[in-house]
Structure 1
Amino acid sequence: MIAYVTVGADDIALAKRFYSAFLPALEYTLEEGPEGLSFALPVPKGRTPFLPDFYVKPTFDGHPASAGNGSMVAFEARNQNQVRDLHAAALAAGGTNEGQPGFRDAYGPQFFVGYLRDPQGNKIALFSSDPTDPARDE
Protein backbone atom coordinates (compact mmCIF):
# COMPACT_ATOMS: atom_id res chain seq x y z
CA MET A 1 0.00 0.00 0.00
CA ILE A 2 1.28 3.45 -0.84
CA ALA A 3 1.46 5.58 2.32
CA TYR A 4 2.23 8.97 0.79
CA VAL A 5 3.27 10.72 -2.40
CA THR A 6 5.55 13.77 -2.44
CA VAL A 7 6.17 16.20 -5.27
CA GLY A 8 8.71 18.98 -5.19
CA ALA A 9 7.94 22.66 -5.63
CA ASP A 10 10.14 25.73 -5.75
CA ASP A 11 7.23 28.12 -5.13
CA ILE A 12 5.09 26.75 -2.30
CA ALA A 13 2.61 29.65 -2.48
CA LEU A 14 1.95 28.96 -6.16
CA ALA A 15 1.67 25.22 -5.46
CA LYS A 16 -0.78 25.95 -2.64
CA ARG A 17 -2.96 28.01 -4.98
CA PHE A 18 -2.94 25.23 -7.57
CA TYR A 19 -3.62 22.24 -5.30
CA SER A 20 -6.13 24.13 -3.16
CA ALA A 21 -8.18 24.69 -6.32
CA PHE A 22 -9.21 21.02 -6.43
CA LEU A 23 -8.02 18.87 -3.52
CA PRO A 24 -10.50 20.27 -0.94
CA ALA A 25 -13.33 19.31 -3.33
CA LEU A 26 -12.01 15.74 -3.10
CA GLU A 27 -12.20 16.07 0.72
CA TYR A 28 -8.47 16.56 1.31
CA THR A 29 -7.58 18.87 4.17
CA LEU A 30 -4.47 21.03 4.14
CA GLU A 31 -1.88 21.46 6.84
CA GLU A 32 0.76 24.02 6.00
CA GLY A 33 4.09 24.30 7.77
CA PRO A 34 7.66 25.40 7.21
CA GLU A 35 8.33 22.07 5.50
CA GLY A 36 5.60 22.62 2.87
CA LEU A 37 2.06 21.43 2.27
CA SER A 38 0.45 18.26 3.59
CA PHE A 39 -2.88 17.14 2.13
CA ALA A 40 -4.74 14.27 3.79
CA LEU A 41 -8.20 12.80 3.84
CA PRO A 42 -10.07 13.23 7.12
CA VAL A 43 -9.93 10.31 9.52
CA PRO A 44 -13.23 9.43 11.19
CA LYS A 45 -12.89 8.79 14.92
CA GLY A 46 -11.82 5.24 15.64
CA ARG A 47 -10.86 4.55 12.01
CA THR A 48 -7.49 4.08 10.37
CA PRO A 49 -6.25 6.85 8.05
CA PHE A 50 -7.12 6.75 4.37
CA LEU A 51 -3.95 6.58 2.33
CA PRO A 52 -2.04 7.92 0.56
CA ASP A 53 -1.38 11.39 1.88
CA PHE A 54 -0.08 13.93 -0.63
CA TYR A 55 2.79 16.29 0.16
CA VAL A 56 4.19 19.28 -1.72
CA LYS A 57 7.63 20.18 -0.40
CA PRO A 58 10.73 22.13 -1.28
CA THR A 59 13.63 19.87 -2.20
CA PHE A 60 15.82 18.59 0.62
CA ASP A 61 19.05 19.15 -1.28
CA GLY A 62 18.30 22.78 -2.11
CA HIS A 63 18.49 22.23 -5.87
CA PRO A 64 15.52 23.23 -8.04
CA ALA A 65 12.58 20.85 -8.00
CA SER A 66 11.95 18.92 -11.20
CA ALA A 67 9.09 16.83 -12.51
CA GLY A 68 9.77 13.15 -13.13
CA ASN A 69 9.61 12.05 -16.75
CA GLY A 70 6.91 9.38 -16.77
CA SER A 71 5.70 10.21 -13.24
CA MET A 72 2.07 11.10 -12.61
CA VAL A 73 -0.23 11.36 -9.60
CA ALA A 74 -3.91 10.53 -10.17
CA PHE A 75 -6.78 11.73 -8.01
CA GLU A 76 -10.22 10.12 -8.21
CA ALA A 77 -13.23 12.40 -8.58
CA ARG A 78 -16.83 11.44 -7.86
CA ASN A 79 -18.06 11.72 -11.45
CA GLN A 80 -17.38 13.10 -14.91
CA ASN A 81 -18.79 16.53 -14.10
CA GLN A 82 -16.47 16.86 -11.12
CA VAL A 83 -13.50 15.89 -13.32
CA ARG A 84 -14.45 18.68 -15.75
CA ASP A 85 -14.99 21.24 -12.98
CA LEU A 86 -11.80 20.43 -11.09
CA HIS A 87 -9.69 20.31 -14.25
CA ALA A 88 -10.95 23.81 -15.14
CA ALA A 89 -10.34 25.08 -11.58
CA ALA A 90 -6.80 23.71 -11.57
CA LEU A 91 -6.06 25.37 -14.91
CA ALA A 92 -7.41 28.68 -13.62
CA ALA A 93 -5.13 28.32 -10.58
CA GLY A 94 -1.94 28.08 -12.62
CA GLY A 95 -1.97 24.60 -14.13
CA THR A 96 -1.18 23.68 -17.72
CA ASN A 97 -3.48 21.50 -19.81
CA GLU A 98 -2.05 18.10 -20.75
CA GLY A 99 -5.30 16.60 -22.02
CA GLN A 100 -8.89 17.81 -21.86
CA PRO A 101 -11.28 15.70 -19.78
CA GLY A 102 -12.76 12.87 -21.75
CA PHE A 103 -12.67 9.17 -22.43
CA ARG A 104 -9.43 7.56 -23.59
CA ASP A 105 -9.66 4.60 -25.97
CA ALA A 106 -7.20 2.42 -24.04
CA TYR A 107 -8.84 2.57 -20.61
CA GLY A 108 -12.34 1.12 -20.96
CA PRO A 109 -15.84 2.49 -21.42
CA GLN A 110 -16.24 4.14 -17.96
CA PHE A 111 -12.78 5.68 -17.47
CA PHE A 112 -13.06 9.46 -17.83
CA VAL A 113 -9.88 11.48 -17.26
CA GLY A 114 -8.33 14.92 -17.63
CA TYR A 115 -4.59 15.61 -17.44
CA LEU A 116 -2.67 18.69 -16.39
CA ARG A 117 0.62 19.85 -14.96
CA ASP A 118 1.08 21.80 -11.77
CA PRO A 119 3.12 25.04 -11.88
CA GLN A 120 6.31 23.02 -11.24
CA GLY A 121 5.60 20.63 -14.12
CA ASN A 122 4.40 17.61 -12.13
CA LYS A 123 1.79 15.66 -14.10
CA ILE A 124 -1.62 15.24 -12.47
CA ALA A 125 -4.63 13.20 -13.57
CA LEU A 126 -8.19 13.74 -12.40
CA PHE A 127 -10.37 10.74 -13.22
CA SER A 128 -13.68 9.04 -12.61
CA SER A 129 -14.89 5.57 -13.44
CA ASP A 130 -18.32 5.93 -11.83
CA PRO A 131 -20.56 3.23 -13.34
CA THR A 132 -23.64 5.50 -12.95
CA ASP A 133 -22.15 8.08 -15.35
CA PRO A 134 -22.76 7.69 -19.08
CA ALA A 135 -20.27 5.36 -20.73
CA ARG A 136 -18.41 6.06 -23.93
CA ASP A 137 -20.20 4.75 -26.99
CA GLU A 138 -18.52 1.53 -28.10
Structure 2
Amino acid sequence: MIDHLGIAVSDFAASKTFYDKAMAPLGASLLYMVPEEYTGGAKVGGYGRDRPVFWLSGGTDKPKAAQHVAFTARSRAEVDAFHAAALAAGGTDNGGPGLRPHYHPNYYGAFVFDPDGNNVKAVCHDPE
Protein backbone atom coordinates (compact mmCIF):
# COMPACT_ATOMS: atom_id res chain seq x y z
CA MET A 1 0.00 0.00 0.00
CA ILE A 2 2.86 2.46 0.69
CA ASP A 3 4.83 3.39 -2.42
CA HIS A 4 7.57 5.29 -0.60
CA LEU A 5 8.20 7.38 2.51
CA GLY A 6 10.70 9.89 3.74
CA ILE A 7 12.10 11.27 6.95
CA ALA A 8 13.75 14.57 7.80
CA VAL A 9 17.32 14.38 9.12
CA SER A 10 19.37 17.04 10.86
CA ASP A 11 22.75 16.04 9.39
CA PHE A 12 22.41 14.52 5.92
CA ALA A 13 26.03 13.36 5.72
CA ALA A 14 25.89 11.57 9.09
CA SER A 15 22.55 9.96 8.24
CA LYS A 16 23.79 8.91 4.79
CA THR A 17 26.82 7.24 6.38
CA PHE A 18 24.55 5.42 8.85
CA TYR A 19 22.00 4.26 6.27
CA ASP A 20 24.65 3.30 3.68
CA LYS A 21 25.98 0.78 6.20
CA ALA A 22 22.68 -0.27 7.81
CA MET A 23 20.88 -0.88 4.51
CA ALA A 24 23.64 -2.91 2.85
CA PRO A 25 22.76 -6.20 4.60
CA LEU A 26 19.20 -5.80 3.32
CA GLY A 27 20.43 -5.49 -0.27
CA ALA A 28 19.46 -1.81 -0.39
CA SER A 29 21.56 1.23 -1.21
CA LEU A 30 21.32 4.92 -2.08
CA LEU A 31 19.90 4.84 -5.59
CA TYR A 32 19.15 8.48 -6.34
CA MET A 33 20.01 11.99 -5.22
CA VAL A 34 17.52 14.68 -6.23
CA PRO A 35 19.36 17.56 -7.92
CA GLU A 36 19.59 20.41 -5.42
CA GLU A 37 18.08 22.91 -7.85
CA TYR A 38 14.79 21.04 -7.29
CA THR A 39 15.06 20.96 -3.49
CA GLY A 40 15.98 24.53 -2.68
CA GLY A 41 19.54 23.41 -1.91
CA ALA A 42 18.62 20.61 0.49
CA LYS A 43 20.17 17.17 0.17
CA VAL A 44 17.50 14.57 -0.65
CA GLY A 45 18.33 10.95 -1.45
CA GLY A 46 16.40 7.73 -1.91
CA TYR A 47 17.32 4.18 -0.84
CA GLY A 48 15.98 0.92 -2.16
CA ARG A 49 16.73 -2.40 -3.81
CA ASP A 50 15.46 -1.72 -7.32
CA ARG A 51 13.93 1.76 -6.92
CA PRO A 52 14.05 4.45 -4.24
CA VAL A 53 11.42 3.82 -1.56
CA PHE A 54 13.00 5.30 1.60
CA TRP A 55 13.99 8.95 1.38
CA LEU A 56 16.20 11.14 3.57
CA SER A 57 15.69 14.91 3.45
CA GLY A 58 18.39 17.14 4.92
CA GLY A 59 18.35 20.83 5.51
CA THR A 60 16.33 20.87 8.71
CA ASP A 61 17.87 22.08 11.96
CA LYS A 62 16.19 19.27 13.88
CA PRO A 63 13.48 16.88 12.78
CA LYS A 64 10.19 17.68 14.53
CA ALA A 65 9.48 14.19 15.89
CA ALA A 66 11.16 10.82 15.78
CA GLN A 67 9.70 8.38 13.28
CA HIS A 68 9.31 4.60 13.23
CA VAL A 69 10.29 2.80 10.03
CA ALA A 70 10.42 -0.96 9.40
CA PHE A 71 12.44 -2.40 6.53
CA THR A 72 11.60 -5.79 5.00
CA ALA A 73 14.31 -8.40 5.41
CA ARG A 74 14.30 -11.46 3.17
CA SER A 75 15.62 -13.71 5.94
CA ARG A 76 16.35 -13.78 9.65
CA ALA A 77 20.05 -13.65 8.78
CA GLU A 78 19.44 -10.29 7.05
CA VAL A 79 17.76 -9.02 10.23
CA ASP A 80 20.81 -10.07 12.26
CA ALA A 81 23.20 -8.47 9.76
CA PHE A 82 21.15 -5.24 9.65
CA HIS A 83 21.27 -4.93 13.43
CA ALA A 84 25.04 -5.55 13.57
CA ALA A 85 25.72 -3.11 10.71
CA ALA A 86 23.48 -0.41 12.19
CA LEU A 87 25.24 -0.65 15.56
CA ALA A 88 28.66 -0.59 13.88
CA ALA A 89 27.54 2.53 11.99
CA GLY A 90 26.78 4.35 15.25
CA GLY A 91 23.18 3.35 15.85
CA THR A 92 21.88 2.72 19.36
CA ASP A 93 20.35 -0.63 20.24
CA ASN A 94 16.59 -0.60 20.79
CA GLY A 95 15.97 -4.35 20.79
CA GLY A 96 18.25 -7.04 19.42
CA PRO A 97 17.32 -9.63 16.83
CA GLY A 98 14.69 -12.09 17.93
CA LEU A 99 11.17 -13.36 17.69
CA ARG A 100 8.36 -11.03 18.74
CA PRO A 101 5.51 -13.57 19.00
CA HIS A 102 3.21 -10.93 20.49
CA TYR A 103 2.94 -9.58 16.91
CA HIS A 104 2.67 -13.03 15.29
CA PRO A 105 4.51 -16.37 15.68
CA ASN A 106 7.06 -15.76 12.87
CA TYR A 107 7.75 -12.05 13.50
CA TYR A 108 11.55 -11.77 13.71
CA GLY A 109 12.92 -8.25 14.06
CA ALA A 110 15.67 -6.02 15.37
CA PHE A 111 15.41 -2.35 16.38
CA VAL A 112 17.93 0.52 16.44
CA PHE A 113 17.83 4.29 16.84
CA ASP A 114 19.45 6.21 13.97
CA PRO A 115 21.51 9.42 14.49
CA ASP A 116 18.32 11.52 14.85
CA GLY A 117 16.62 9.12 17.25
CA ASN A 118 14.33 7.53 14.66
CA ASN A 119 13.34 3.98 15.60
CA VAL A 120 14.30 1.85 12.59
CA LYS A 121 14.09 -1.89 12.31
CA ALA A 122 14.41 -4.82 9.98
CA VAL A 123 11.76 -7.52 10.09
CA CYS A 124 11.27 -10.93 8.53
CA HIS A 125 7.82 -12.52 8.63
CA ASP A 126 8.82 -15.91 7.25
CA PRO A 127 9.43 -19.00 9.36
CA GLU A 128 13.14 -19.88 9.67
Fold match, TM over 0.5? yes
Which amino acid in 2 is paired with 1:121? G
Q: 1:5-26: per-residue Cα shift (whole Å, max 9, x none)?
A: 1111111111111111132332
Contact 1:5–1:53 at 8 Å: present in 2 too?
yes
Larger Rg belongs to: 1
Aligned pair count?
120
- Across the aligned residues of Structure 1 and Structure 2, the Cα RMSD in angstroms comes to 1.9
- TM-score normalised to structure 2 length: 0.81
* SS state at 1:2 partner: coil
Please list, as runs of the form range in 1=range in 2, the aligned pairs for 1:7-26 lying within 5 A after superposition. Answer: 7-26=7-26
* SS state at 1:87 partner: helix
Which amino acid in 1 is paired with 2:77? N
Q: Using the alignment, how far apart are the partners of 2:80 and 2:27 within structure 1? A: 17
2:45 to 37, 51, 54: 37
Please list, as runs of the form range in 1=range in 2, the aligned pairs for 1:98-109 lying within 5 A after superposition. Answer: 98-109=94-105
Unaligned stretches of 5+ residues in structure 2? 37-42
Unaligned stretches of 5+ residues in structure 1? 44-51, 134-138
Q: CA deviation at 1:86?
A: 1.1
Q: Using the alignment, how far apart are the partners of 1:93 and 1:66 within structure 2? A: 23
Q: Using the alignment, how far apart are the partners of 1:85 and 1:28 within structure 2? A: 13
- What is the aligned-residue identity percentage? 33
4+ residue segments displaced more than 6 Å: none
- TM-score normalised to structure 1 length: 0.76
